[in-house]
Chain A
Amino acid sequence: MTPVETFVKKYLRQRVLPTIWCGGCGLGTVMRVIIKAFDDLSIDQNKLVVVSGIGCSSRMVGYMDTNTVHTTHGRALPVATGIKLAHPELEVVVIMGDGDGTAIGGNHLIHASRRNINLNVFLLNNGNYGMTSGQVSPMTPHAWYASTSPFGNLEHAFHLCDMVKSAGATYIARTTSFHYMQAVRLAKEVLEHKGFAFLEFYFQCPTYFGRFNEMTDAPTMLDWFKKHAVRYNPENPRELEKGQFYVGKLWEDNTKDEYTDLYAKLCDRAKEMMQVAK
């Protein structure tokens, strides 16, 4: 653990600050949570790779002083899969937004979950496409508003954590930009988990999502997170009321072997078979 100023300086490329994010945006908080987790776990920034797609959230990698790859829309996970499989000793973090990760990259999300490859995935969910100024996304709630759902969203949002669970992810959690302390704890659990670890991270977008949905400033949106978040307790799960959602660790399965470990064993087996054949 290092003092605040030191860890911020250590993990951010000060030469490219300030960020491009709007006033009131939650991404600054989210970035702080993630680098705090890096620092708390003393992660070597020379052996860390952070991969993103396209969108407001994906711009985060540019600010982080480590190995960073800003790929194409939706493609962070397959690029990260190539990095991790080629060099399993690297710590690989994936940052993507909700449009990035659930619409254009949705197929990659379910398959990366299925493989249980050791990626640390932060899906930053603001419920709309912020970069292109507030269009409806697969994570915009039913009947809510966006620039391309001006009469209310006809579609329904994914139950994202359930989706990646059924796809095979072995660590799943949800938090929000209101729940700073919890978020840091969960981010560390994501990094420490061996296997496909997934954190759905709600954050406020007052500029677009909020403006279309009568929450035009950050405090109002944070207050909304606070009022609707329900702490998940697997011993005693509470019935959710309309608009409520669970936060906290939702699922962990340590019985399933991780993909790059399995691949290493496969290589040993294949080499042995070759020896026998000779």
Chain B
Amino acid sequence: MSNAKGRTLLLQGNESCAMGAIYAGCRFFGGYPITPSTEIAEHLARKLPIVGGAFIQMEDEIASISSIIGSSLTGTKAMTATSGPGFSLMQENLGLAAVLEAPIVIVNIMRSGASTGHPTGTGQGDLMQSRWGTHSDHPAVALAPATSQEMFDLTVKAFNIAEKLRVPVVLLPEAVVGHIREAVYIPAEGEMEVLDRARPEAYEDYRFFNRDESGVAHPPDLGTGFRPHYTGLTHDETGFFTGIPDKVNEFAVGLNSKIELNREFLTDYCEEAVEDADVVLVSFGVTSRACAHVARDLRGNGVKAGYFRPRIVWPFPDERLRQIARKAHTFIVPELNLGMMRGEVERIVGPGKRVVGINRVDGTMLTLERMQKEVQEVLN
């Protein structure tokens, strides 16, 4: 980094995430201990009291997400951190946050396996849970950092998205990214953009949940004189329950429109040498770090290969991948689950393309050697 105002520190991914949260203006953390996320809570338990924020350890993950929703409704930026089993418990009120249009950030450090699984192993098995974990249609945003640096940068970005679109945002690092120690550049105050929710000065006819042209509603913070009503029930623009089919439809379609209407803001990917590629490695999070090397090696051996990695995994960058698929004929999707993202890639590139997964679910990483070997088998 050329800007000398910030500082570079050796940080664990989870510490970096916690520092990113403070930078983004997070002033409330409610959480419950769970490996491999706990260092985030520990860091914030020390830091939040000093910066005028609140830290509370709740009785379970259901209470944790509930507490941050409460904080967010008062206008205080809030976060929780957990891992698979805790994330499962949070699904109930992840839906509530979406429906209340409460900006919150949930960090889900992915461990390995279903149920209690392998707590200190790494995995990428929560990709679909972060999209479809809570019931019915709802706006879903998830970011997948691959480095300690991105644990900082994408945490700030997660807060910005949450505040601007008034949605719950999930940060989805693997256990390895949570625990890896790398150099992290911490920007100076003001160097990185920090967004705050819009706070209208007036509302017409109690229409607190009126949507603007970008599909976003801006209900007022509690205690600021407007006296809004927030409910998890389907509601009209006043915030009160409606069961009238047209109004219910307007609510459901309107709530979900936030994603499509803000596609550009919600598109964030890295790619290398994809323009003329025949073979593209598509991957997210930590797995993508090896993919970049594999793609470069293939180029060196005369294979037109590239790699593509969404940093925002939900919504998935469909359009860009579809463009790449005009030329590429083979997509290799390495991931630490049994093919969750491969399904997405198949859906987007369509029939007639070859989509092959490289999968590992033993709690360890896909090593460069193994990936090179398996990619070679695919291409032979």
A→B interface (CB under 8 Å): 13, 15-16, 45-47, 49, 51, 61-62, 65-72, 75, 77-87, 89-90, 107-108, 111, 263, 266-267, 270-271, 274
Report the bound CA distance from A67 to B226 in whole Å: 8
Which residues of the partner chain A approach B230 to less than 8 Å between Cβ atoms?
68-70
- Complex contact B222–A267 (CB within 8 A): no
Which residues of the partner chain A approach B58 to less than 8 Å between Cβ atoms?
78, 81, 111
- Complex contact A72–B93 (CB within 8 A): yes
Which residues of the partner chain A approach B28 to less than 8 Å between Cβ atoms?
82, 85-86
Q: Per-residue CB proximity of B53-96 to A under 8 Å, as 1/0?
A: 01010111011101111111110101000000000000011001
Q: A78-B64, A267-B50 are in contact. List 4 more A-B contacts (CB 8 A).
A: A62-B229, A70-B230, A71-B66, A87-B223
Q: Which single residue of chain B is at the shortest CB-CB distance from A49?
A: B222
Which residues of the partner chain B approach A263 to less than 8 Å between Cβ atoms?
49, 54
- Complex contact A107–B59 (CB within 8 A): yes
Given contacts A79-B67, A82-B30, contact A69 B73 (CB under 8 A): yes
- Complex contact A86–B76 (CB within 8 A): yes
Secondary structure call for the A interface? helix
Report the bound CA distance from A271 to B206 in whole Å: 42
Given contacts A68-B229, A82-B30, contact A267 B52 (CB under 8 A): yes
Report the bound CA distance from A61 to B241 in whole Å: 12
16 sampled A-B residue pairs with Cβ under 8 A? A62-B241, A65-B227, A67-B228, A69-B73, A70-B230, A71-B96, A71-B232, A75-B92, A77-B63, A78-B70, A81-B63, A83-B71, A85-B28, A85-B67, A86-B54, A108-B66
- Complex contact A86–B93 (CB within 8 A): no
Report the bound CA distance from A68 to B73 in whole Å: 10
Contact check: which of B54, B70, B92, B228 meets A72 at CB < 8 Å?
B92
For chain B, residues 111 to 127, give those with C-beta under 8 angstroms from any C-beta of chain A. none
B253 interface hit (Cβ, 8 Å): no
- Complex contact B63–A78 (CB within 8 A): yes
- Complex contact B52–A82 (CB within 8 A): no
Which 9 pairs between the two chains have the least Cβ-Cβ distance? Answer: A82-B70, A78-B66, A82-B67, A78-B63, A70-B231, A86-B71, A270-B49, A83-B70, A111-B59
